[in-house]
Amino acid sequence: MKLLTYFSLILLTALVCSCHSGDKKTVPVVGFVDAFEDASIAPARTGFVDALKKNGFSEDQKNIKIEYSNAQGSIPTLTQIVNQFVSEKVDLMATCTTLSSITAAQKTKAIPIFMMVSPVVKLMKLEGADGKAPANLFGAVEDLNYIDTSFSNIPKFLKPKAGKLVIGMIYNQSEPQSVDAKNRIQSLADKMNITLIALPLNSSADAQLVTQALLNKNIDAFFANPDNTVFSAFETILKSCNQKNVPIFTSEAGLVQRGAVAAFGADIYQWGYQAGEQAAQFLKTHSTGGLQPEMVKVRTRVYNPAAAKKYNITVPSNFEAVK
């Protein structure tokens, strides 16, 4: 019989605690879904919150409630987080990184979803049979065009050691955008007469091994394709590349801060900020009229002065030093 008491206890506690979510909502609630912990991704959330604040919605003024949840890299947890926000009927959801956006888009067709650090809907394969994106998807997204610029900048900085420029890169097979980016860069390299050596890296634990394998192939530069494994193992990659005197180029400003030479690409903070501005417009007008997923507007050209000095690289004047 004791068992029954336990079960009833657990259920009772759950009941009592779940009641608080049934409170009458007086202020709009934002459900912010993060898929994993990462220093390079974190500024997106800051940007999103700042944009809301600038538009007069802040938790200090008690006129909005931002509920933040992080799945810590676990898909079952991610699904439950999204379910929780859906059943709480939050006014809008903010999703950071691809997997959060996909999970939310598959779980609700009614609550507006403001995406950030996510690719365009087509790359996520979320288009219906009519080729249209789900009607409740908004926010700031990115396609692969910017990668062309990032990659084609490399010959401006570097001269090949011998004949052809050889560039190494690693990509994560478990991330759609990483594989798409790799294919895109491959076709670009073929056009630009660059030899590209791409190796898959599926867990940050193998970073050192895979990076060493690339460095042994006598590469002139390393292209850090910004994905989760590169973000989490960047210091390992940097250390190995520095030992072999191979400069790193990338398409994400945060990685330049951490030691890559230069990048042209989305600024993660601005990316979140842009999604936040859309969310603020929705909160003001209570309608999603005129909103749709937008391309990331702010792309920056940044360089790391210390890294540029180390490799004697002259940086074009339209690049600014990273703060």
Partner 1 sequence: MDFYLTALLQGLCYSGLALGIYISMKIFNIPDITTDGSYTLGAVVTAILLTHHQSIYITLPIVAIAGATAGALTGLIHAKLKIHALLAGILVMTALYSVYLALMGRSNLPLINVSTLFNLINISADPNHNTFWILLIFVIIITLFIGYLLKTDFGLAMRATGNSETMIRSLGVNTDRMKIIGLALANALTAISGYLISQQQGYADVSMGIGVVIIGLGSVIIAETFINWLRLTSIWLSLLFVLGGAIIFQFVLAFTLDIGVNPIYLKAVTAVFVLLIVSLPRINFRTVK
Task: Name the site residues for partner 1 (rule: CB under 8 A).
Answer: 2-3, 6, 10, 13-15, 17-18, 21, 34, 67-70, 72-77, 79-81, 83-84, 86-88, 98-99, 102-103, 105-107, 124-129, 173-176, 179, 202
Whole-angstrom distance, CA of residue 320 vs CA of residue 18? 50
Minimum CB distance to partner 1, residue 231 (Å)? 15
Minimum CB distance to partner 1, residue 243 (Å)? 29
Q: Toward partner 1, which CB reaches closer, 5 or 245?
A: 5
Whole-angstrom distance, CA of residue 249 vs CA of residue 226? 10
Q: Toward partner 1, which CB reaches closer, 71 or 263?
A: 71
Minimum CB distance to partner 1, residue 184 (Å)? 14
Minimum CB distance to partner 1, residue 267 (Å)? 24
CB < 8 Å & 24+ apart, contacts of 37-40 = 37/70, 37/72, 37/73, 38/228, 38/231, 38/232, 39/231, 39/254, 40/226, 40/231, 40/234, 40/252, 40/254, 40/255, 40/258, 40/268
CB < 8 Å & 24+ apart, contacts of 207-211 = 207/170, 207/233, 207/236, 207/237, 208/233, 208/236, 208/240, 210/170, 211/170, 211/236, 211/237, 211/240, 211/241
Q: Toward partner 1, which CB reaches closer, 88 or 294?
A: 88
Q: Which residue has the tokens 């390299």?
A: 189
Minimum CB distance to partner 1, residue 150 (Å)? 22
Minimum CB distance to partner 1, residue 45 (Å)? 11
Minimum CB distance to partner 1, residue 126 (Å)? 6
Q: Toward partner 1, which CB reaches closer, 259 or 293?
A: 293
Query: How many CA atoms within 13 Å lie on the side-chain side of 313?
Result: 28
Q: Both tokens of residue 265?
A: 């690409």
Q: Which strands sit side by side in the sheet containing 137-142, from one edge to the other?
A: 65-70, 29-34, 92-96, 113-119, 137-142, 294-295
Residue 86: CB atoms within 10 A of its CB come to: 16
Q: Toward partner 1, which CB reaches closer, 37 or 320?
A: 37
Q: Toward partner 1, which CB reaches closer, 86 or 197?
A: 86
Are 320 and 303 spatial neighbours (Cβ–Cβ below 8 Å)?
yes
Minimum CB distance to partner 1, residue 96 (Å)? 12
Q: Toward partner 1, which CB reaches closer, 10 or 27?
A: 10
Q: Toward partner 1, which CB reaches closer, 10 or 321?
A: 10
